[in-house]
Amino acid sequence: MRPTNVLFISSDQHSRRVMGCSGNPVVQTPNLDALAARGTRFTNGYCPTPICVPSRASLATGRYPHTIGSWDNATPYIGTEAPSWGHRLTEQGHMVTTIGKLHYRKVDDPSGFPDQRLPMHVLEGVGDLYGILRGEMPTRAVSRQHVVEARAGESEYTRYDRAIAREAVHWLHEEAGDPTKPWALFVSFVNPHPPLVVPQQYLDRYPADAMPLPVQWAPEDWPRHPVLDLRRRQQALDESVGEAATRRAIATYYGMVTFLDEQIGLVLQALDEAGLRDSTRIVYTTDHGEQLGEHGLWWKNSMYEGAAGVPMIVAGPEIPAGKVVRTNVSHVDAFPAIVEAVGAELQPEDADLPGESLFRLAQQNDRPRAVFGEYHTVLSPSGVFMLRDDRFKYVYYVGYAPQLFDLQEDPDETRDLGEDSAYTDVRAACERALRRICDPEEVDRRAKADQRRRIDAAGGVEAIIAGGVKVPYTPAPAEFDPAPVEARERRVASSE
């Protein structure tokens, strides 16, 4: 594989089901569809954990969250836990630039990404301490508000994404140039992450009453499991938001995806205008998915396909055009892909990386391959672990009954086989495969011990609860938000 530049485009909370190229007949994503048409789309892409900060740490390092101790939205990547692909490229003389959201601790940490443009990191270098509380805790009403208050308008996130696109266009035209070695540009948008707010011209494309209702959206159809029930209570979503609000929220989300697609199109157009298409490989993915009301759940935080699944598209030199690959892939496959693509070399300490190159996987025939996921934070009293093979998805909860889905026969995950005696052998085989990756009980203990230490350092559970949710989502850089943080804190406090 000859060395090329790498343009890595990421978004936030984009369901892989909400793209035209993945078969969605409603949403308009012409630029992502065109990218898939000239490249390879993976139908079964997964994140290592369905929550922002640990997922992004895993994407940077090519390692699972439990191996680097990134459990939650208050354990941001610093750079000392394990090397990032940025370290590998910069130490071998390659230019690396990031534009937009990273969600690490802070700019001056040794993350391996020294040239950060318009960066977004965790709030105050700490992140969401409220989110590390496990088990029963006060309701986070803001989760319900995000659904019922979906609307047309501008937000700090739409302003921020436009600026990210402008900076990426400028960089490709003015700074990519002809370096002595291939470069890597990481462009990271924040849409379609809540708040569910999008300019009117995008919302107008999606009449709410024409939006499809999600699978198992009605309360009488909700799957019941102690962890899922607890989650609904804590998000104030244990009572349905109703059909009208569901359709309106989905319409707004679709509009946000179309807005995102337009920003991506500007970046891809600039790549072409700069004459860099034939010397650049492209990756598109997101940090995790979005449930959109499926199974009575909203946002991320679960191992259902809507949350754990992510879009994954690659394109460029030596990447098959118009190909659809069904081999399971993961974010951990990005690290070796980027390093190899630019012509850099993996180091001896990378020998135990769990991933394979996405670009190589795109060139191969479909084959059985298991992927792994885990979850250790807000809305779950238990460590949650996923093993997804070529047919089944097994979800292991420490201290609770497992879930099992036959994705070949039941792609919408409406029939839980977790306690079906006919599948005892399947569950046993999946659990053995899971335990070859990690010991769930040991990892769960380690995560909770680390969270307990941080809770105590913050003054205890009561002090964190008294402090409340500082902001409902990580704020964009201040220049994109006309409301100061104090005003946002007041808005959140009034919603709790």
Q: Which residue carries 């390092």 as its tokens?
A: 61
pLDDT in tens, 169-218: 999 999 997 778 999 999 999 999 999 999 999 999 999 999 999 999 99
Do 135 and 448 touch, CB atoms closer than 8 A? Answer: no
Per-residue pLDDT tens over the stretch 357-380? 999 999 999 999 999 999 999 889
Q: Are strands 184-188 and 96-101 parallel, antiparallel or unpaired?
A: parallel
- Contact yes or no for 291/302 (Cβ under 8 A): yes
pTM (two decimals): 0.95
pLDDT given for residue 476 in this prediction = 87
220 by Cβ neighbours in 10 Å (0-12 / 13-18 / 19+) ranks as: exposed
What is the distance between the alpha carbons of residues 44 and 326, in angstroms, rounded to a whole number? 6
- Is it the case that residue 167 has pLDDT exceeding 60? yes
What spatial distance separates the first Cα and last Cα of the chain, rounded to whole Å?
54
Q: For the range 486-492, what are the long-range contacts, defined as Cβ-Cβ under 8 Å and sequence gap of 24 or more?
A: 492/142, 492/468
Which pLDDT value is given to residue 496? 37
Q: What confidence score (pLDDT) does residue 488 get? A: 40
Q: What is the rounded distance in angstroms from the CA atom of residue 142 to the CA atom of residue 127?
A: 17
Percentage of the chain exceeding pLDDT 90: 85
pLDDT-derived band at 135, boundaries 50, 70, 90: confident
Residue type, position 416, single letter: D
Please say whether the beta carbons of 272 and 266 come within 8 A: no
Q: Which of 15, 24, 72, 31 is nearest to 193 (CA)?
A: 15
Q: What is the mean pLDDT of the chain?
A: 94
Residue 487 has pLDDT above 90, yes or no: no
Q: What is the CA radius of gyration of the chain?
A: 21
Dihedral sign of CA atoms 170, 176, 178, 179 in order: positive
- In this structure, what is the dihedral angle of CA atoms 162, 112, 353, 378, given to the nearest 10 degrees? -60
**Cα 383 from Cα 21, distance rounded (Å):** 34
Compute the distance between CA of residue 313 and CA of residue 35 in angstroms, rounded to an integer: 7
Are 331 and 58 spatial neighbours (Cβ–Cβ below 8 Å)? yes
Task: Quick: pLDDT tens for 268-318.
Answer: 999 999 999 999 999 999 999 999 999 999 999 999 999 999 999 999 999
Tell me the residue type at 21: C
Which positions ≥6 away from 138 have C-beta within 8 Å? 234, 465, 496
Measure the CA–CA gap between 354 and 439, rounded to whole angstroms: 16
The reported pLDDT for the residue numbered 357 is 98
**Distance separating alpha carbons of residues 379 and 133, to the nearest angstrom:** 8
Q: What's the pLDDT score for residue 493? A: 37
Q: Which residue has the higher pLDDT, 129 or 201?
A: 201
The answer, yes or no, to whether the previous bond of 195 is cis (omega within 30 of 0) is yes
Domains of the chain: 5-369 (3.40.720.10)
494 has a pLDDT exceeding 60:
no
Sign (positive/negative) of CA torsion 395, 63, 7, 339?
A: negative
For residue 101, list its beta bridge partners. Answer: 120
Cβ(137)–Cβ(144) under 8 Å? Answer: no
Confidence band, pLDDT 50/70/90 cuts, at residue 465: confident
- Cα–Cα distance for residue pair 478/204, rounded to 1 Å: 29
Q: What share of the chain is helix, strand, coil (3-state, %, to 5)?
A: 40, 15, 45
